[in-house]
């Protein structure tokens, strides 16, 4: 048994010695890695000059899609709009009852051909209104019916609101 133990110690010592001799030789002769080949520089072909292109006019349908700019609000229209919004706004308090602070919002009410609200845009600071509050506000504003004197010759109504 003792001879077997001595044999195992000798084998381990021999393996260690061979590893040290060969390993040191292989580790010592490391050559630096080769530099990667430079990548070719790709260039785009020259574009034809802009003078050769003929200008394309917008199609008739594209012209029809463009909305005319909203007429500038006059003082009387602004007074009517703000008075109407002030009458409507109490129902919006339900949507933001849990809000910790007031939020300044720019509201755009898009109007259809009959002068009814078709779409509502709310511009506010990110994170100032929860998604449920925004849905509630939009849903209530979509039910608003602006008076005729506010919607004549207009495709939208824009006003500020503090909630």
Mean pLDDT confidence for 125-134 = 83
**Distance between CA 155 and CA 71 in Å, rounded?**
9
pLDDT tens-digit map of 48-93: 554 455 555 555 545 445 555 655 668 888 889 889 999 988 888 8
**Distance between CA 150 and CA 47 in Å, rounded?**
52
**Distance between CA 150 and CA 76 in Å, rounded?**
10
**Do residues 117 and 144 touch, judged by C-beta distance below 8 A?**
yes
DSSP code string of 41-97: PP-PPPPPPGGGSPPPPPPHHHHHHSPPPPPPPPHHHHHHHHHHHHHHGGGGTTTTT
């Amino acid at each position: 048994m003792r001879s077997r133990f001595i044999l195992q110690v000798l084998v381990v010592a021999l393996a260690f010695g061979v590893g040290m001799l060969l390993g040191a030789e292989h580790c010592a002769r490391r050559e630096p890695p080769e530099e990667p080949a430079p990548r070719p520089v790709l260039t785009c072909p020259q574009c034809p000059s802009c003078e050769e292109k003929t200008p394309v006019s917008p199609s008739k349908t594209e012209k029809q899609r463009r909305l005319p700019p909203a007429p500038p609000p006059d003082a009387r229209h602004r007074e009517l709009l703000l008075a109407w919004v002030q009458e409507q706004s109490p129902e919006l308090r339900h949507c933001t009852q849990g809000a910790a602070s007031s939020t300044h919002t720019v509201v755009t009410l898009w109007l259809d051909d009959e002068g009814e609200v078709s779409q509502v845009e709310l511009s506010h600071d990110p994170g100032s209104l929860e998604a449920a509050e925004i849905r509630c506000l939009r849903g209530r504003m979509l039910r608003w019916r602006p008076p005729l004197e506010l919607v004549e010759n207009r495709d939208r109504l824009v006003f500020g609101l503090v909630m």
